[in-house]
Amino acid sequence: MFPNARRVVALAAIACASSFAASHRNGPLLLEDQTANLNDLYVFRSYEAGRSDRVVMSMSVQGFQNPDNGPSYYKFSDSVLYRFNVNNARRLDGHPDLQIDFLFQTLLRPNPTFVSYFGHLKGIDDPGIFLYQTYSIVIRNLKTGHSTYINKDANGHPLSVAPPNLGPKSTPNYEATFGQPSVFTLANGMRVFAGPRDDAFYFDSGATFDTLNFRAPAPILTGAADTNTGGAAAPAAVDGFAGYNISLIAVEVPIGMLTADHSVPVDPKNANAKVGVWASTHRQIVTVRPSPHDPINYGSYVQVDRVGNPLTVEALIPLPMKDYWNRSDPANDQQFAKFIGDPFFASGVLNGVFGLKVPPAPRNDLLGVFVPDITRIDLTIAPTPVASQNRLGPLGGDNAGWPFGGRRPIDDVVDIGFRALAGVLVPGFGNAPNTQLGDGVNSNDVPLLNRFPFHAAPHAGYKHSQIDGTNGRGMATGQ
């Protein structure tokens, strides 16, 4: 089906393919700063029963967390500001109008042990949680200059980070005892969560990075290989993110909190019907390390990473520019238009290696999504019930998915991205095999939740092994 590629094109494709994944290992500088390294951003109207008038925004950081990596496990950085940015005016130009910041504080409780968590923990306030993290939220309305500071829930409980899932002895019945109790309702009606979760991103990264060594039947999916929502089990397809955890920050807000006029739009032509969202991480501009004393941070916060749409920096931005892209603002993304409007992944890989017919440059279909790089959500699109959701979103007739209805954890952004880069939304290019591209992994390794924060419970350290791992169709070790 595919002609042999010229050697020079194949060699060039290696460089591109090696960067195609979620932002889990993205940008040379961020490899040295994993607590600030954003992985994925999710924005969608809630499909939890009775809460469809809410929007959920979540960001994941510090990917590829080994669940049994004690004794300290993973934590949010006290020196990183984690931010949700909302753009609801000026035709979504990439300038923020609303920001929701998360700042973390770590308390090392006095104890004689060498571990961060000890004993049979009975809840989120158990004294055996020696590494105890709390967080503060700052909501900034940039148009009015008003800021709201929150560090407790509606009942006066500190906003605390869920502990890791050590195993059945230390953290029994994890989700009921630690996961859901770490969901806090605030006095303003928001709900928030911060803590470890299963990584909801799914992708055969190993096959892609081995010089496009896709496992059959990928990269052309037909019949059950494309329609099966579970996808093939290993070795036919391998989810490179299976069994790993991430650190998740999630917020649920009323729709009216995100719109410029605080309305709940119902007409897609309404100027307030669409908003754009991106996540970013920031550090203070100066860090002094007066060893042996703790580091001291000074000055204003500067951006070190950002994520809007999935796959932007991974598949569209050249390697030498990734760090610069991470530090730049979406409002200035026009400077990257030449890479997005004529993507090498389309011309050099899909066409050059696999011989697919792709649209010529400039790719206005891609520029309309990725410049500026913000995840857009049409707030008039009703959420799709879980049983009816399609992993391909609009390509599968489900407009509540990426890229029209934001992005949900179920959305197969890799397959959607492959097909979009092949030009399936451009007249004349929406035919097979462009409409059948995929990596062969069609769903997360463990079931997602149908309630906030929607990511599955984190995998348990005790059960994390090559024997009880979650490669392909794995065990739900965290529930």
Q: 3-class SS at 332?
A: helix
Mean per-residue pLDDT over the chain, rounded = 90
pLDDT at 478 over 90: no
Cα–Cα dist 336/139, whole Å: 30
Beta bridge partner(s), residue 297: 287
Burial status of residue 328 (CB atoms within 10 A of its CB: 0-12, 13-18, 19 or more): middle
* Structural contact between residues 23 and 39, judged by C-beta atoms closer than 8 angstroms: yes
pLDDT at 477 over 70: no
Find the DSSP H helices in 193-268.
Answer: 205-209, 224-227
Cα–Cα dist 289/31, whole Å: 20
Q: 3-class SS at 34?
A: helix
Judge whether 445 lies within some domain: no
Q: 3-class SS at 256?
A: helix
Banded pLDDT at 237 (limits 50, 70, 90): confident
Structure-model confidence comparison of residues 464 and 303, the more confident one: 303
Most confident among 26-35, 159-168, 209-218 (mean pLDDT): 159-168
Which H or E run includes 16?
Answer: helix 7-17
To the nearest 10°, the Cα dihedral for 351, 373, 200, 436?
-30
Banded pLDDT at 21 (limits 50, 70, 90): very low
* Structural contact between residues 151 and 135, judged by C-beta atoms closer than 8 angstroms: yes
Domain count, the chain: 1
**The whole model's pTM is what?**
0.93
Which of 2-11, 78-87, 202-211, 296-305 has the lowest average pLDDT? Answer: 2-11
Banded pLDDT at 56 (limits 50, 70, 90): very high
Judge whether 475 lies within some domain: no
In the prediction, which pLDDT does 18 show? 38
CB proximity list for 223: less than 8 A, separation 6 or greater: none
Average pLDDT over residues 233-259: 90
Cα–Cα dist 59/455, whole Å: 11
Judge whether 471 lies within some domain: no
Judge whether 38 lies within some domain: yes
Which of 263-277, 370-384, 465-479 has the lowest average pLDDT? Answer: 465-479
Nearest to 45 by CA among 366, 227, 307, 273: 273
Nearest to 135 by CA among 154, 158, 162: 158
In the prediction, which pLDDT does 4 show? 37
What letter would DSSP give residue 253?
Answer: E
pLDDT at 7 over 70: no
Judge whether 478 lies within some domain: no
Banded pLDDT at 30 (limits 50, 70, 90): confident
* Structural contact between residues 392 and 423, judged by C-beta atoms closer than 8 angstroms: no
In the prediction, which pLDDT does 199 show? 95
Judge whether 268 lies within some domain: yes
Cα–Cα dist 149/216, whole Å: 52
Judge whether 449 lies within some domain: no
Cα–Cα dist 382/387, whole Å: 14
Banded pLDDT at 123 (limits 50, 70, 90): very high
Structure-model confidence comparison of residues 311 and 254, the more confident one: 254
Q: 3-class SS at 69?
A: coil
Percent of the chain with pLDDT over 90: 80
* Structural contact between residues 123 and 113, judged by C-beta atoms closer than 8 angstroms: no
Beta bridge partner(s), residue 191: 185, 252
* Structural contact between residues 15 and 322, judged by C-beta atoms closer than 8 angstroms: no
Q: How many CB atoms lie within 10 A of CB 201?
A: 25
Percent of the chain with pLDDT over 70: 91
Judge whether 39 lies within some domain: yes
Average pLDDT over residues 135-156: 98
pLDDT at 29 over 70: yes
* Structural contact between residues 39 and 199, judged by C-beta atoms closer than 8 angstroms: yes
pLDDT at 2 over 50: no
Range of the domain at 403: 7-436
